[in-house]
């Protein structure tokens, strides 16, 4: 029971963080960026530059090593996706979205977790990637 409460609390915390980031991104982009960077550091021990510089293989290995639970991984995917929106034709967006796909793959393969939201986002990312390579 205690583990379920811990997981539910973590999921709620990330839902609130994502909602706050989404609201700030629309009203105060600078504050949203600061909250994103603080959360990335506090929750995942990452900074944006390191995240962008990690190869996809190294990022996958990092996720495996740190063994985040499904809720925390989903929270990271949502944060990265929001940071990449709106999708622009630059290397940072491409790299960030590739990391989101890696997280989605881990959620599906390791935790057997899928959601309609993540499937929709995966489709949007794949469409963006096709446009960038066309």
Report how many domains make up the chain.
1
Percentage, residues of the chain above pLDDT 70: 93
**Confidence grade of residue 1 (pLDDT, cut at 50, 70, 90):** low
- The mean pLDDT value for 66-75 works out to 93
Q: Are 24 and 32 in contact (CB under 8 A)?
A: yes
Q: CA-to-CA distance for 85 and 81, rounded, in angstroms?
A: 6
* pLDDT surpasses 60 at 29: yes
The per-residue pLDDT for 132 is 86
Averaged pLDDT score across all residues of the chain: 90
CA distance readout (Å), 100 to 9, 19, 80, 90, 94: 23, 18, 7, 16, 10
The per-residue pLDDT for 4 is 61
Q: Where are the alpha helices (DSSP H) in the chain?
A: 2-27, 29-44, 48-53, 56-66, 70-84, 91-110, 116-132
Q: CA-to-CA distance for 50 and 87, rounded, in angstroms?
A: 20
- For the segment 71-103, what is each residue's pLDDT rounded down to a tens digit? 999 999 999 999 999 999 899 999 999 999 999
Give the range of the structural domain holding residue 70, as residue numbers without chain letter. Answer: 2-132
Q: What radius of gyration do the chain's Cα atoms show? A: 15
**Confidence grade of residue 37 (pLDDT, cut at 50, 70, 90):** very high
């Amino acid at each position: 029971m205690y583990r379920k409460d811990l997981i539910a609390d973590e999921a709620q915390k990330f839902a609130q963080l994502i909602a706050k980031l989404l609201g700030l991104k629309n009203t105060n982009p600078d504050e949203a960026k600061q909250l994103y960077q603080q959360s990335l550091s506090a929750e995942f021990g990452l900074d944006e530059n390191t995240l962008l510089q990690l190869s996809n293989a190294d990022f996958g290995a990092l996720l495996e090593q740190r063994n985040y639970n499904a809720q925390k991984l989903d929270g990271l995917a949502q944060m990265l996706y929001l940071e990449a929106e709106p999708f622009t034709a630059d290397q940072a967006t491409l790299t960030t979205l590739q990391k989101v796909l890696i997280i989605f793959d881990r959620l599906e393969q390791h935790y057997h977790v899928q959601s309609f939201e993540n499937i929709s986002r995966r489709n949007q990312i794949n469409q963006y990637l096709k446009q960038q390579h066309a």
